[in-house]
Structure 1
Amino acid sequence: MRDAPILLVEDNPDDITLTLRAFAKNGVGNEIVVLTDGELLLTRLLPADGTSPLRPAIILMDIHLPKFSGLELLQRIRSDERTRYVPVIMLTTSTEERDVVASYQLGANSFVCKPVAYDEFLRTVRTLSAYWLDINKRCPSSECPP
């Protein structure tokens, strides 16, 4: 799904820069929309003002965010018909088992710990983008709302 944007929900400026650089180095041409808190995500995904919602290919989301945690956001995303089937990958520094379990219980499609080493992070982004943008077959829009 190389024509839809990727949402990166991250509040750490260094992680944002690293992730954008990794996508660029891996030749990912999708627009990357960076949102730095949960309120911004909800405004773009589930607008209450009647504007068209953003339809991302995937959402990469940290767990520790201002205003709403990634887990709270995941619950909201999965509870709304407009976003229920959007792939959500928890991309976080957390290695806490409770975060992994809660993420999957709330409907995360994947849980990925951010590698510390830059080369490992590049490989992780390459693998994520190849799988979620090229290999994975999404539910047809006639069966699953976009």
Structure 2
Amino acid sequence: MGIFRSVYFAGHHLSKYRDGVCDILAPLWVGGVFTMEFEFIKNTLLGEYTVRCNMEHQIVGRWLQEEIGQDLAKLKHVLTLIDKAEQSPAQEFLWTGREISLLVQGDEITVQENALAYESEHELETDFALYDSESIAACGREDFVALLTQWQSFIQNQGRF
């Protein structure tokens, strides 16, 4: 048994890997934009679920793992919020987590650390620019919903597709 992996590129399930064997994730160029890649992992010995995203979207993976985790009710609430935002594209919808929050504006989703929102009200030195880039990410609604629904399926099927 050990570790079970499922890898996605641009929201498409490619293959499953076992026992730590996995290809390197690299940004995928589709239609002139980089798409979000993600990998779901279930440690079958410990029953732990993990999500990894490409470098530009690491905060998205942290948000999903730390703020949502295996809580399908929270996941459903976020999907409902995204549906509401699609119906009212001029409005902003905010889901506030303990450490990381989600802002939905029409077709764009922004995920950022709560501390960054506080710090942006105060002037920061440029030395923190790299840290900031790891603390905030934006992606399209379509990619984000694909991530959430596939995470939901992964959890419901106990790490199997």
> Is this a same-fold pair by TM over 0.5?
no
Q: TM-score of the superposition, structure 1-length normalised?
A: 0.28
Q: Higher RCO, 1 or 2 (CA under 8 Å, sep at least 6)?
A: 1
Q: TM-score of the superposition, structure 2-length normalised?
A: 0.27
